[in-house]
Structure 1
Amino acid sequence: MPRLLLAALLVLVLAPGAASAKEPADTWATVNVCDTAKQPDAVGIRASMPGTPKGARLSMRFRVQYRTADGGWENVEDADSGWRNVGTARGLPVEYGWSFAFAKQSAPSTLRGVVKFRWRRGEALPRQQEVVTEAGHPSKAGSDPAGYSAATCVL
């Protein structure tokens, strides 16, 4: 009886770890530009997705959201890149970015990015995933200043 109980507890403890292991660590999005001297009133979003399964067509879609007065998030009208083909999976993560320019606002707004990822094989869509921007992901290109990574941007 104690062995059976121990085995059941081990399954419960290890199961969440196995489930989370399916989510690739290299799927992320970050704000890599936020209202700089070179890019005033602009928000840049950089994202990375796994380059597997090999041969799949990879796409990303970038959107910007603003924080509402009640703390929720709403899409910014016309701040949507549409689907962008970012290449064919070759086994290595793929990075891509998109920038949005905004008119000067009378009051500051907190913005974040939302990126949707899509892997296609022919007409099949075996996988989609969506993430919001977070700090801690220095990107290979496009950051201003170099290495900048944030979850949000205040304009």
Structure 2
Amino acid sequence: MLRARATLPTIVALAVLVFVLPAATGVARSRLASDGSLLWATVNVCDTADHPDTIGIRGSMPGTGYRQQRMYMRFQLQYLASFDDKKWHNIGAAGDSGWIDVGSAKYRQRQTGRNFTVRPPDTGAFRLRGAVTFEWRDGTEVVKRARLRTTAGHGNTAGADPKGFSRASCVVTK
């Protein structure tokens, strides 16, 4: 009967492979699930003197910790069909940013945004909001996707007008 004898360096190397590596990758992956505070979308510009007839949408997404993965956002502008029926609709191509590469997923968090110019109605008002789709990609493979509607309460948004502005929707009037 043959007996294999493990040396202390071999045991330590196996312990690292079995226990440490899965834990490290689990921490990076769990950042997506556990830190919801880094995943959000907001309206940070709404028809101001400096940005007339403009709605700004900004998003934030957490990284995975993986250098080879990239993060993407897509901003879509939506309008409320009427204040009575409460049905939201995408505006279409004029209100769609397409996919925007926001950088490597190795970072803890990335933010970006898009401004959309709208033609105000001749009478009445438009209520607008944003929908942001987030993707984490490894090459061409989408490893995770999320979609959020804009919400209020995200005061640290770059480009906000006025500073600190964060709302779920925006009303544009003539």
| TM-score > 0.5 by shorter chain | yes
Partner residue, 2:13: none
Partner residue, 2:55: 43
Which stretch has the larger CA shift, 26-35 or 118-127? 118-127
Structure 2 residue 115 is the aligned partner of structure 1 residue 99? yes
Partner residue, 2:89: 74
Partner residue, 1:22: 33
Q: TM-score, with normalisation over the residues of structure 2?
A: 0.74
Matched residues in 2 for 1:123 and 1:44: separation? 29
Greater relative contact order structure (CA < 8 Å, 6+ sep): 1
CA RMSD of aligned residues (A): 1.4
Percent sequence identity over matched residues? Answer: 44
User: After TM superposition, what 4+ stretches of structure 1 lie above 2 angstroms from structure 2?
Assistant: 21-24
Change (3 A) 1:79 1:23: farther
How many residues are paired up?
A: 135
For residue 23 of structure 1, report the CA deviation from its aligned partner: 5.2
For residue 109 of structure 1, report the CA deviation from its aligned partner: 0.9
* DSSP 3-state at the match of 2:153: coil
Matched residues in 1 for 2:145 and 2:56: separation? 22
**More helix by percentage:** 2
What runs of 5+ residues in structure 1 fail to find an aligned partner? 1-20
Matched residues in 1 for 2:169 and 2:154: separation? 13
Q: Which of the two has higher C-alpha Rg?
A: 2
**More strand by percentage:** 1
Deviation by residue 1:62-98 (Cα, 9 ceiling, x = unmatched): 0110112211100113200000011011231101010
Matched residues in 1 for 2:163 and 2:169: separation? 17
